[in-house]
Structure 1
Amino acid sequence: MTTDPRGAQQQDYEAAGYGHHLAPGRRPALLLIDPARAYTDPACSLYAGVEEPVAAMRVLLDAARAAGVPVVVTRVDIRPDGSDAGVFFRKVPALTAFTTGSPFAAYVEGLHPLPGEHEVVKQFPSAFFGTGLADHLHGLGVDTLFIAGLSTSGCVRASTLDAMQHGFVPIVVADAVGDRDAEIHRANLFDIAHKMGEVWSLEASLQRLAAGATAVPAGS
């Protein structure tokens, strides 16, 4: 008889006291992290085969706009010499794809911020690090963040951790985040769900945005 290692892992984490569910608040926003061409253009070394999550991002973004939810979109813009990205640039030479003027740093079609939406330009993984994003969201009265974007193990994870540390309930939309490796993607979603925030399906997130209620949708 075989055992389910993921089931055993889940039980172990729950027994240790991880994974308590967080109830979303009344004032959500959407944080769309780095929907850049670098991850969707095979000509770039960072290409990650994330076409399905990108399609889900478009659906989620449309739903947030239709619901009147504040939208924040981030992009990476690094000086050509990498001097504003410090050790991060030295550690990951592939970040040259995000230097000023690189075509790979441009937004994927349909995922750019519209006039009146908040754009965050960053040089490091977290959307909060050195950007003033927390103050912007607190000023809007936001208490919950739906999080989508790229990549799961990098900027999505870092931003989710910082969202929690700044007092926002983070809800990572599993179908609308992606990574270059499926196992790393799954492992990071597992860790996020047990230590940082909630991980919901796209369907559950759309239900919540459409309803504008405080109850957690079925299937989250």
Structure 2
Amino acid sequence: MNDIRRPDLAADYRAHGFAARLGAGERVALLVIDVCAAYLTDGSPLRAPVEEAVRAAAQLVTRARGSGRPVIFTRVSYRPGSADGGLFRRKVPALSVFEEGDPLGDFLTEPAPRPGEVVVTKQYASGFHGTSLAATLTALRIDTVLVTGLTTSGCVRATATDALQHGFRPLVVAEACGDRDPRLHEANLLDLDAKYADVIDLPAALGLLE
């Protein structure tokens, strides 16, 4: 895989005053962004090579549950006709797979929310836009979110950026996110790490959930 996070690009960012570390705070929650059948079903317009990312996200969900950390899932859902998707729905016609009743919008067998776990339903890319996510995290006294899910360049990026803007420390788990193409994945991880989040690896994320 062509790793766009090669040292010269990362070093250039650092040399110009980017990529400081936020680190983890005291209370961590796991965010699982839009992990659903649409990305793993052949014939879906959103099909992507994200199997490894989904397995890594499931591993983090298991660890978080075992240590009593909050696990919060997001999903996209539109009413028939998708008028509630506004211009986003018009810009990306493939989002029609998230209309109510389409099985492509369903959660996977694993990871999937358990009874009692928070599921945030959204219509736009960010898990924070027009939802109760920020209020939920505040009520739980969370200061740090591990961001996982699909896709890196879309809803993961938007959610991580908004997490920062809402005052939460976003830690994006590189192996637990995926995209349509490795180049998109790596380019967005590079830019997120420089400007909006800390990008960390799976072992570090598992350690934070112990």
Question: Which one-letter code corresponds to 2:68 in the other structure?
Answer: G
Query: Is residue 37 of structure 1 aligned with residue 40 of structure 2?
Result: no
Report what 1:207 is aligned to: 207
Question: Which one-letter code corresponds to 1:201 in the other structure?
Answer: D
Report what 1:89 is aligned to: 89
Structure whose alpha-carbon radius of gyration is higher: 1
Report what 2:73 is aligned to: 73
Distance in 2 of aligned mates of 1:80 and 1:42: 23
Report what 2:131 is aligned to: 131
RMSD of aligned C-alpha atoms?
1.2
Question: Which one-letter code corresponds to 1:189 in the other structure?
Answer: L
Report what 1:20 is aligned to: 20
Deviation of 1:5 after TM superposition, in Å, equals 8.7
The superposition leaves residues 6-55 of structure 1 with CA deviations (integer Å, 9 ceiling, x where unpaired) of: 32212211111000001211100001000110000012111002111111
Query: Is residue 181 of structure 1 aligned with residue 181 of structure 2?
Result: yes
The superposition leaves residues 83-131 of structure 1 with CA deviations (integer Å, 9 ceiling, x where unpaired) of: 1010001000000111100010000112221111111011100000000
Runs of 4+ in structure 1 deviating by more than 4 angstroms, as ranges, are: none
Count of matched residue positions in the alignment of Structure 1 and Structure 2: 207
Q: Specify the SS of the correspondent of 2:209.
A: helix
Q: Specify the SS of the correspondent of 1:84.
A: helix
Is contact 2:5–2:187 with CA below 8 Å preserved after alignment?
A: no
Distance in 1 of aligned mates of 2:191 and 2:182: 14
Q: Which runs of 5+ in 2 are unaligned?
A: none
Work out which structure has the larger RCO, using CA pairs closer than 8 Å and 6 or more positions apart in sequence. Answer: 2
Distance in 1 of aligned mates of 2:201 and 2:167: 22
Percent identity over paired residues: 47
Q: Specify the SS of the correspondent of 1:171.
A: strand
TM-score by length of 1: 0.92
Distance in 2 of aligned mates of 1:28 and 1:112: 19
Q: Specify the SS of the correspondent of 1:10.
A: helix
